[in-house]
């Protein structure tokens, strides 16, 4: 079958059962977009307001569904506008295929109109990338890209296609996608035996779970493992949802804004079992004081993570779901009642708390949790609201908390919210945003309205860049350098001007009523919730301090 390069792109998307792509057209991808138009019955295209929003939408789609997210952009500025979204996906191990156009092969390297070396630009932030200069290679590269994006530790792959390659024709043969198998080649008998021996020898084990648990669909196995080890469980920000937030063994987040029980427990344990976590600096604080009395047992699919930030005493390398299944089969039931009682006392003594007198973000998030029964998909931007969402929404399932944990991308949440809703049309999807982040991406409200994507954006509005101001208060003698927004914006009118619905919340009594109206609404909703500019996220560990040095107020 003789097909053009553009037709081959579409056929390869169909081979991989891609039903949705996000993007923004331009001259270099006109031929691809022409084929999308012809194949509208099988592939839905979501036109965003900005390419960065498209990249974040593909990311949110991928995180919430487990499928590969696909984004398309034209050459030059279209391609470079994807960079932040690609880097966000790379840092958080999200499977994505980004397809960019470029100038014809004969014009490459000549500073042509809208030409950029996007493969050079994205080399450090992709698992792999390609520039396709021969249409004969296009189908194989497309197939390989989808495989690489999903295989092992997932991540984004970029395919740059010059315009003449989308025009040129070649004989195309359909193929069945290569099966992506769970990584098990490094799971050895010796590594399993050693892990079991260390667990059995422990008197005070603690489980620290990261985003790898969510990515590998290992939440069920982790819960069984925790019960078997009889150990408390803490999660990184990326790991939230990987363990049930209401379970008695769960002690909340660990690290800079982790619970006191988690931070003290990790510091005092004798065995730290690290499952799919990268030892972020925001988790470990002062590295030489992090769990320095414990044996560290690390389970991860990526051998590059072992001994990168913290030295591990033993590691099992392989897909987390497979490793935990083997351990659950081989490990005898353990008993650590005294240790759990000790941690329980700390939990009871230092619960997460906030002033209940007036309207606060914490109260509002607890209400969101209550009214959605902990079953909504929650996306966030980056800042105080992100930490409050991780602390006060009790996630019961994985893939329900979508946040930029590694890159810390303000502007991520709204695009991700749209992508998650497209991938999960029957699930309530709410983006919890700060007013600073909302300023970066509210153009995507037009996307939600245009495509009738029913999402809720809950703006926690304190009129400042809240987390930066918090640091300025605590560590910079209250020198508030350019963190006061002075934003005189009518959110209700803004929403209405774009065809959405807007609500204001200024008192605690309004929260439940407005949320119920928003949940019943059939159009996209913006909620503006006013809080005090000096509300802070606690607990908090000062940067560079040991994580058991916790400020609780």
**Catalytic residue, candidates 114, 510, 521, 536:** 114
For the chain, the straight-line distance linking the first and the last C-alpha, in angstroms and rounded, comes to 68
> With contact defined as beta carbons under 8 Å apart, do 245 and 219 qualify?
no
**Catalytic residue, candidates 440, 467, 498, 540:** 467
- Token couple for 38: 């012809």
Alpha-carbon distance of 145 to 159, in angstroms, equals 8
DSSP 253-321: E-STT--HHHHHHHHH-SEEEEES----HHHHSSGGGTTTTSEEEEEES-GGGTTSSS--SEEEES-HH
Give 225's Cβ-side CA count (13 Å radius). Answer: 29
| SS3 (DSSP) at 43 | coil
- What are the phi and psi torsion angles at 389 (to 5°)? -65, -40
Helix axes 51-65, 83-91, angle to 10 degrees: 20
Alpha-carbon distance of 286 to 49, in angstroms, equals 42
Active site residue 113: yes
**Catalytic residue, candidates 51, 221, 381, 444:** 51
**Catalytic residue, candidates 52, 127, 142, 163:** 163
| SS3 (DSSP) at 244 | coil
DSSP 94-161: --EEEEEEES-GGGTTTT-TT---HHHHHGGGSSEEEE---GGGHHHHHHHHHHHHHSSS--EEEEEE
- What are the phi and psi torsion angles at 281 (to 5°)? -60, -25
Active site residue 51: yes
Active site residue 248: no
Active site residue 114: yes
Which ranges of 331-475 does DSSP label H, i.e. alpha helix? 337-349, 361-372, 384-392, 412-423, 435-441, 445-450, 466-475
Active site residue 22: no
> With contact defined as beta carbons under 8 Å apart, do 60 and 419 qualify?
yes
| SS3 (DSSP) at 460 | strand
> With contact defined as beta carbons under 8 Å apart, do 52 and 82 qualify?
yes
CB proximity list for 245: less than 8 A, separation 6 or greater: 374, 393, 394, 395, 396
Alpha-carbon distance of 457 to 434, in angstroms, equals 10
Catalytically active residues are: 51, 113-114, 163, 467
């Amino acid at each position: 079958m003789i097909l053009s390069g553009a037709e081959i792109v579409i056929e390869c998307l169909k081979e991989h059962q891609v039903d949705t792509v996000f993007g923004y057209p331009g001259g270099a991808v006109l031929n691809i977009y022409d084929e999308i138009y012809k194949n509208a019955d099988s592939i839905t295209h979501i036109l965003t307001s900005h390419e960065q929003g498209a990249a974040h939408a593909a990311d949110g789609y991928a995180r919430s569904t487990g499928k590969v997210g696909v984004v398309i952009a034209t050459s030059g500025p279209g391609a470079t506008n994807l960079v932040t979204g690609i880097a966000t996906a790379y840092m958080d191990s999200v499977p994505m295929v980004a397809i960019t156009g470029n100038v014809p092969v004969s014009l490459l390297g000549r500073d042509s109109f809208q030409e950029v070396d996007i493969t050079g630009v994205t080399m450090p932030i992709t698992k792999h990338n390609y520039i396709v200069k021969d249409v004969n290679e296009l189908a194989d590269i497309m197939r390989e890209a989808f495989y690489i994006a999903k295989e092992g530790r997932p991540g984004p792959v970029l395919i740059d296609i010059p315009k003449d390659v989308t025009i040129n024709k070649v004989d195309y043969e359909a193929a069945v996608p290569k099966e992506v198998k769970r990584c098990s080649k490094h799971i050895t008998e010796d590594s399993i035996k050693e892990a079991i021996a260390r667990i059995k020898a422990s008197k005070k084990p603690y489980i620290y779970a990261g985003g790898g648990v969510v990515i590998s669909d290992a939440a069920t196995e982790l819960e069984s493992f925790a019960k078997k080890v009889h150990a408390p469980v803490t999660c990184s920000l990326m790991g939230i949802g990987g363990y049930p937030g209401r379970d008695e063994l769960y002690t909340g987040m660990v690290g800079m804004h982790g619970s006191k029980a988690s931070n003290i427990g990790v510091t005092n344990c004798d065995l730290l079992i690290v499952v799919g976590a990268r030892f972020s600096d925001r988790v470990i604080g002062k590295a030489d004081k992090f769990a320095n009395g414990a044996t560290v047992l690390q389970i991860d699919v990526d051998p590059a993570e072992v001994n990168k930030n913290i030295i591990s005493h033993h590691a099992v390398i392989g897909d987390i779901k497979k490793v935990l299944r083997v351990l659950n089969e081989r490990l005898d039931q353990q008993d650590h009642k005294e240790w759990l009682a000790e941690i329980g006392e700390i939990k009871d003594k230092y619960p997460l708390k906030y002033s209940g007198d007036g309207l606060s973000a914490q109260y509002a998030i607890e209400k969101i949790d209550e009214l959605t029964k902990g079953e909504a998909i929650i996306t966030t931007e980056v800042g105080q609201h992100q930490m409050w969402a991780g602390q006060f929404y009790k996630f019961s399932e994985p893939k329900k908390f979508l946040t930029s944990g590694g890159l810390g991308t303000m502007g991520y949440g709204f695009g991700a919210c749209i992508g998650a809703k497209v991938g999960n049309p029957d699930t309530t999807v709410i983006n919890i945003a700060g007013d600073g982040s909302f300023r970066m991406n509210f153009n995507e409200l037009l996307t939600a309205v245009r495509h009738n994507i029913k999402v809720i954006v809950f703006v926690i509005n304190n009129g400042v860049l809240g987390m930066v101001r918090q640091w300025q208060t605590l560590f910079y003698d209250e020198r508030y350098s350019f963190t006061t927004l002075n934003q005189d914006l009518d959110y209700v009118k803004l929403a209405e001007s774009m065809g959405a619905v807007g609500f204001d919340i200024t008192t605690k009594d309004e929260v439940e009523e407005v949320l119920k109206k928003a949940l019943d609404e059939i159009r996209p909703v913006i909620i503006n919730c006013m809080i005090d500019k000096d509300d802070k996220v606690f607990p908090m560990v000062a940067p560079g301090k040991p994580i058991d040095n916790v400020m609780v107020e």
